[in-house]
Amino acid sequence: MQRSGNNMVKLPAKTRGFSLIELIIAMGLGVVVTAGIVQLFVGNNQTYNLLNGQSRLQESSRYAFDFIGRSARTAGYLGCDPDDDRIFNTLNGAWNQLFEFDLSTPIQSFNYTGNGTATGLGDWTPTLLNLPRQTGGGSINTFVNGTGIDLTEVIPDTDILVFRRVEIPGNRIARLIQAGDNPVVLDDPNVTFQVDDFAVINNCEQAALFRVTGVVSAGGETTLARATGAGVFQNAVGTTLSEFGIPYGTAINGQGSTVGRVITEIYFVANGAGINNRGDTPRALWRRSGTSAPVELIEGVRDLQVLFGVDTTPNDNIRAANRYLNFDALNPTDVVRSLRVTITASTVNAVSDDGNVVTRTFSQTVNIRNS
């Protein structure tokens, strides 16, 4: 109302403001709507983090199976599949002293049998006495110092898995190689040998491990010297590439005979190098390949378990495992057809409503080479 002289003039309704009650109601509705939008955003964000974490979890397990599967399927490859009793070791050390080059055992596993907290040599079965490892600032059972596995970093209750093979492809020999000769191979741009490589010469009858002590290339061929020495990893005096005196190749060419480097891959679970969104260190799958130091392969792998599939009726023409055992329970005569690998992977980051990581366990059976 507005006074004009002695008369009162009524203002139009549309020019009046909100009342206090109307303002309170509007603010209340605004708070409710805003809270709903925030809750929706938080819920969507949690759902996104959960789905993203689960996707990462599945991807980690898939990559882990891919790495282990490839190693398993090529384990025991020596070239043209020589007889088991004709794989010769020409080094001074016995096979059990040459863990990195022990071709007598293509696949090996160590099952954790400790109390769940310790990581000593005897906490795995078989014992880790021969495993390439770091201790007291030095290396044990390693050809290259400083490349061993630090057992204090390995997670208790997890298994350790080992595969050994000859590198694919190998170099074909250039000519007939007598048992006492230095191997001569055809040059291949994809495979070049270096001093201190450990290699295997093989054909369909036999194979021999030796250390390369010299490399001389000329005319498209490379001669691999194998001088002798006194150490465990040195070529032994008086040993030949064949205990039966059988040459490699033929007098015309070296077809069917190759030389390749020895590759030993060790898989284990240890703490990774990263930090998750809770400030924790996630576990990871690690691999030690050849004579190199271990490297972290896949973050988020929490556990690795391995069983060996044994064919208890190998003569029934059904090449399939019907019993699964730990490595230490195998008998020398058991025919192993496959590996059952079980991996527990995590989302790495905490993504659940209660602020924890989410884990899932996956299993895969991998067929392996059989003698």
DSSP class per residue in 38-92: HHHHHHHHHHHHHHHHHHHHHHHHHHHHHHHHHHHHHTT--SS---GGGEEE-BS
How confident is the chain (371 residues) per 10-residue block, as mean pLDDT? 55 62 75 69 59 83 95 89 84 96 94 93 96 90 95 96 92 92 91 94 92 95 96 95 89 74 97 91 96 96 96 87 93 91 92 84 89 46
Tokens of 255: 């077809």
What is the domain partition of the chain in residue ranges? 78-299
Q: What is the pLDDT of residue 48?
A: 61
Q: What is the pLDDT of residue 229?
A: 94
Q: What is the pLDDT of residue 371?
A: 46
Q: What is the pLDDT of residue 304?
A: 97
Of 155, 102, 167, the closest CA to residue 130 belongs to: 102
Q: Is 144 exposed, middle or buried (0-12, 13-18, 19+ CB in 10 A)?
A: middle
